[in-house]
Amino acid sequence: MYEGDVLAGNWRRPGKGTIPQVPAEPDLVVEDADSGFCGAVVACDKEAVTLEDRFGRRRLFPLAPAAFLLEGRPVTLVRPSAVAPAAPRRSASGSIAVEGLRARVARESRIYVEGVHDAALVEKIWGHDLRVEGVVVEYLEGVDDLPAIVAEFGPEPGRRLGVLVDHLVPGSKESRIAAQITSPHVLVVGHPFVDVWQAVKPSVLRIPAWPDVPRGVPWKEGVIAALGWRCDPPEAWRRILGAVSTYSDLEPELLGRVEELIDFVTEAP
């Protein structure tokens, strides 16, 4: 069964070589060196191990030094280390991820954002959460027609609308438009950034800060020129979005507003 006599020469004597320690993991097959009983590990505590042979018979053996044979070689079985429970996986937004997620049927409630870049950023960070909740995000291509869009949507209890607006600061055009929305089933919130690009922390892109762009200069093109990037706005956005992986890459002024909108549209009527 083995090459030579594994018990010959008193292999337990000092100086015969180091006997390896092997964790007594479940289903590990070993042989008791003294009795020849061979079986799989089915239980182990700090003092003994239980083996079960192929006939279903079980025997208890002490965890003595060099008391077992593993593939014909002497070993010392030891109690396996306790394995800490795995921490729950987190989504990009920091919420606990739902394993084996099947997206639920979409709610009637919606979240509207200004443009395709806003929608892409929300999807990258909150996409998992939105599928769990069954919330669809759509983009508006600007907010100039927001009152008409809200009226067409027809908000009511159980059919809420959340709107994320860029550059929603006192005195701005956006703030005047948002003030026209009075339905209790619509929540309009915004961030202070000229464009959602600025919601990405400069450190993520390894730049000291987002540059100031003079009035009259298209903002995206002005940023690209100031940073010395040799690309057009679509390519610049791919570069920015590609650098984002979790909520910690975004400014809190955006994080809080998106979380607020998700809570609003998923709140029970």
Task: Assess whether 134 and 253 both reside in one domain.
Answer: yes
Task: Assess whether 133 and 250 both reside in one domain.
Answer: yes
Task: Assess whether 256 and 144 both reside in one domain.
Answer: yes
| The pLDDT value given to residue 1 | 45
For the chain, give the mean pLDDT.
88
Task: Assess whether 15 and 74 both reside in one domain.
Answer: yes
Task: Assess whether 20 and 149 both reside in one domain.
Answer: no
Contact 20, 75 (CB under 8 A): yes
> Domain containing 35: what range?
1-83
Q: What is the pLDDT of residues 244-257, one digit of tens each?
A: 999 999 999 999 99
What pTM, to 2 d.p., does this model score?
0.65
Task: Assess whether 133 and 252 both reside in one domain.
Answer: yes
Task: Assess whether 153 and 253 both reside in one domain.
Answer: yes
Contact 68, 48 (CB under 8 A): no
| The pLDDT value given to residue 84 | 57
| The pLDDT value given to residue 147 | 94
Task: Assess whether 38 and 161 both reside in one domain.
Answer: no
Task: Assess whether 123 and 36 both reside in one domain.
Answer: no
As for how many domains the chain has, the answer is: 2
Residue 205 belongs to a domain: no
Domain boundary among 83, 99, 130: 83
Q: String of b and e for 82-110 (b: at least 16 CB within 10 Å)?
A: eeeeeeeeebbbebeeeeeeeeeeebebb
CATH code of the domain containing 262: 3.40.50
Q: What is the C-alpha to C-alpha distance for residues 190 and 198, in angstroms, rounded to an integer?
A: 13
| The pLDDT value given to residue 83 | 57
Average pLDDT over residues 91-117: 81
